[in-house]
Amino acid sequence: MANKSLFASIAGMLLPRADAQNHAGGPAYALTPRHKLAQLAATGSLNRTFYADARDQLDDVLLTALDVDPAFIAKTAIYARRRGYMKDMPALLVALLSTMETHDFSKAFPRVIDNGKMLRSFVQIMRSGAVGRKSMGSRPKRFVANWLERASDIEIMRASVGQDPSLADVIKMVHPKPGTREREALYGYLIGRPYDVSALPQIAQDFEAFKRNPSRTPPDVPFQMLTALPLTGEHWAAIGSKGGWQMLRMNLNTFARHGAFDVSWFPRKAAARLRDPAEIKRARVFPYQLMAAYAAADDKVPRMVREALQDAMEISISNVPRIDGRVVVCPDVSGSMSSPVTGYRKGATSGVRCIDVAGLVTAAFLRANPETRVLPFENDVVDVYLNPRDSVMTNAQRLASIGGGGTNCSAPLAKLVAERARVDLVVFISDNESWIDARYGGRGTATMEMWEKLKRRNPDAKLVCIDIQPYGTTQAAERADVLNIGGFSDSVFEMISAFAKDELDAGHWVGEIEKIDLG
């Protein structure tokens, strides 16, 4: 009879060798420069995380970008903005492109810098010296000026909210050439210089008229421009009905505090907008943002409005794949997952933690695939029961309430191996900082060793590792049956579905970014 221990040792030697160490000190696999840049762009927010500070992230992005070509930097910036819904990282990558002798900057800029907030972020990064120079340079100035010249009056008014830099600073810096008397007057109005009052665009005239007589209907300007004025509940209801979808979601308690929901027609209208599929798609909302809004809404927010947030959640994750076969989802509930998903930022730290996102992704899979098996893990697998018929919000909150302990990414796989389980797809949601299983002494990571053992009984099984923190290593080496993907937007569901159906290129996630046409 064949020597089982001999063949087991040979199988272990065929594992890819762990070539890196993660931030927790455990063995790991380094991502390729392209994959690492993509992961940083899709999960990084240039804020302090559990294992790294903001400066570390910035240095990591800039050094990694030096190892890839400018076209891929441009494609990554576009992907992170358009499909990952990110802000700071795409702006940083476009700023970096502006320092390179390449036409890719001009291709990426209009597709990434798509609103006034992104414009001000780009200018802030350029002025900070983060990409190597504090002066804007003629080419970036020209593109910023072009954005201002092509923006509508309402876009300009919306962009005027915010500081460091203010829109007035940006206008003074790039000297846009007004194409009309209205735009010339608007620039003068915003930067505090003389202007032709009669030529001011209607939106600005309406704002000035409202300031003089607040009994009028509020103009369609950012509500931050109106808050210093004496507003009634009717005013606040009008502001909520005209404002953007994200503004409505983020300020439900504000509207309640100022009496907007006491206006008879507003609660029903607000609820209808929040659950409108077209508005949800247009807002590019993270599913976890809806969970945060639901958790934050106080009792003064009408029940129908809070329930509309749950409806919006169900709509936002409607593209979770329905997968034939046996699916196992493994959310990381260890201590490091209690950190804010977008990092710590003084005065602006998100209340949503990594564990909340892991719970949400898991609950979404369970809703689409009721037979899904859920194996939360920390030091070991945690026993928890989730009812597939419960709402996504309920199951996500139940998972997020566990928390604590060290990180052992191999634990769920070891359990499946011990059970001689049959599986078709295993999905991890983690920060990949596994260290409890670091002492097993093998050639690769314990996660990869256990995956190989599981594959012996399940040769067609696939492994997906969703990474939600910007640390640059993984516990499972990239290959035909392993997909490493970074991010926490609903686009990750689309890629998992394609991977499960053998529809992704050999390059997997990076291959999807490569498909972006710079035109």
What are 154-187's pLDDT values in tens digits?
A: 999 989 888 889 999 999 999 999 989 999 999 9
Asked, for residue 62, whether it belongs to a domain, the answer is no
> In 360-416, which ranges are E strands?
373-374
Same domain, yes or no, for 382 and 495? yes
Same domain, yes or no, for 14 and 156? no
| Confidence class for position 319, pLDDT limits 50, 70, 90 | low
Asked, for residue 354, whether it belongs to a domain, the answer is yes
| Confidence class for position 10, pLDDT limits 50, 70, 90 | very low
Alpha-carbon distance of 436 to 505, in angstroms, equals 33
Beta bridge partners of 340: 353
**CA–CA distances in Å: residue 350 to residues 25, 53, 102, 173:** 27, 16, 36, 32
Question: What's the pLDDT tens digit per position in 348-362?
Answer: 666 678 888 898 889
Which of residues 200, 221, 242 is at a domain's end?
A: 221
Residue bearing the bigger pLDDT, 342 or 241: 241
**What are phi and psi for residue 9, nearest 5 degrees?**
-70, -35
Percent of the chain with pLDDT over 90: 53
Same domain, yes or no, for 122 and 269? no
Give the largest CA-CA distance in the chain: 97
Over residues 316-332, the mean pLDDT reads 86
Asked, for residue 78, whether it belongs to a domain, the answer is no
Same domain, yes or no, for 91 and 201? yes
Alpha-carbon distance of 482 to 485, in angstroms, equals 10
Q: What is the mean pLDDT of the chain?
A: 88
Entry pTM:
0.85
What radius of gyration do the chain's Cα atoms show? 25
Same domain, yes or no, for 401 and 509? yes
> Per-residue pLDDT for 2 more than 90?
no
Q: Are the C-beta atoms of residues 431 and 332 closer than 8 Å to each other?
A: yes
Alpha-carbon distance of 425 to 413, in angstroms, equals 12
For residue 19, what is the domain's CATH number? 3.40.50.410
> In 375-500, which ranges are E strands?
425-430, 462-467, 473-474, 482-486
Same domain, yes or no, for 357 and 455? yes
> Per-residue pLDDT for 279 more than 70?
yes
* Signed CA dihedral, 72, 78, 80, 86: sign only: positive
Same domain, yes or no, for 474 and 329? yes
Residue with tokens 């030096």: 66
Which three-class secondary structure state does DSSP give residue 465? strand
Question: What's the pLDDT tens digit per position in 232-243?
Answer: 999 999 999 988
What pLDDT shows up at residue 189? 94
Asked, for residue 433, whether it belongs to a domain, the answer is yes
What pLDDT shows up at residue 441? 56
Which of residues 221, 253, 270 is at a domain's end?
A: 221
Question: What's the pLDDT tens digit per position in 378-427?
Answer: 999 999 988 888 888 888 888 888 878 899 999 999 999 999 999 999 99
Residue-range definition of the domain harbouring residue 111: 86-221
Asked, for residue 39, whether it belongs to a domain, the answer is no
Same domain, yes or no, for 346 and 404? yes
> Per-residue pLDDT for 333 more than 90?
yes
> Per-residue pLDDT for 139 more than 60?
yes
Which of residues 259, 283, 307 is at a domain's end?
A: 283
Least confident piece of the model among 162-166, 209-213, 316-320, 323-327:
316-320
Sheet with 327-331, side-by-side order of all strands: 373-374, 327-331, 425-430, 462-467, 482-486
Over residues 14-33, the mean pLDDT reads 89
CB-neighbour burial class of residue 25 (10 A; exposed 0-12, middle 13-18, buried 19+)? exposed
**What are phi and psi for residue 353, nearest 5 degrees?**
-100, 165
421: CB partners within 8 A, 6+ apart: 326, 328, 454, 457
Same domain, yes or no, for 342 and 464? yes
- Strands 425-430 and 462-467 come out as parallel
Same domain, yes or no, for 506 and 405? yes
Query: Which two structure tokens, joined as six digits, stand for 461?
Result: 């099984």
| Confidence class for position 116, pLDDT limits 50, 70, 90 | very high
Asked, for residue 393, whether it belongs to a domain, the answer is yes
Same domain, yes or no, for 275 and 352? no
What pLDDT shows up at residue 348? 60
Domain count, the chain: 3
Q: Are the C-beta atoms of residues 405 and 334 closer than 8 Å to each other?
A: yes
> Per-residue pLDDT for 7 more than 50?
no
What pLDDT shows up at residue 506? 58
**What are phi and psi for residue 87, nearest 5 degrees?**
-125, -70
* Signed CA dihedral, 100, 104, 108, 113: sign only: positive
Same domain, yes or no, for 341 and 470? yes
Asked, for residue 384, whether it belongs to a domain, the answer is yes
**What are phi and psi for residue 21, nearest 5 degrees?**
-125, 130
Most confident of the following: 24-33, 52-61, 338-347: 24-33
Alpha-carbon distance of 375 to 474, in angstroms, equals 19
What pLDDT shows up at residue 5? 45
> Per-residue pLDDT for 320 more than 60?
yes
What pLDDT shows up at residue 11? 47
What pLDDT shows up at residue 395? 86
Question: What's the pLDDT tens digit per position in 77-114?
Answer: 999 999 888 888 999 999 999 999 899 999 999 999 99
DSSP string across 305-355: HHHHHHHHHHHHTTT----SS-EEEEEB-SGGGGSBTT-B-TT---S-BHH
| Confidence class for position 346, pLDDT limits 50, 70, 90 | low
Question: What's the pLDDT tens digit per position in 406-419?
Answer: 999 999 999 999 99
> Whole-angstrom distance between the N-terminal and C-terminal Cα of the chain?
62
Question: What's the pLDDT tens digit per position in 431-479?
Answer: 999 999 887 656 899 999 999 999 999 999 999 999 988 888 999 998 9
Asked, for residue 2, whether it belongs to a domain, the answer is no
Question: What is the Cα 212 distance to its own chain's centre?
Answer: 41
CB-neighbour burial class of residue 265 (10 A; exposed 0-12, middle 13-18, buried 19+)? exposed
What pLDDT shows up at residue 9? 46
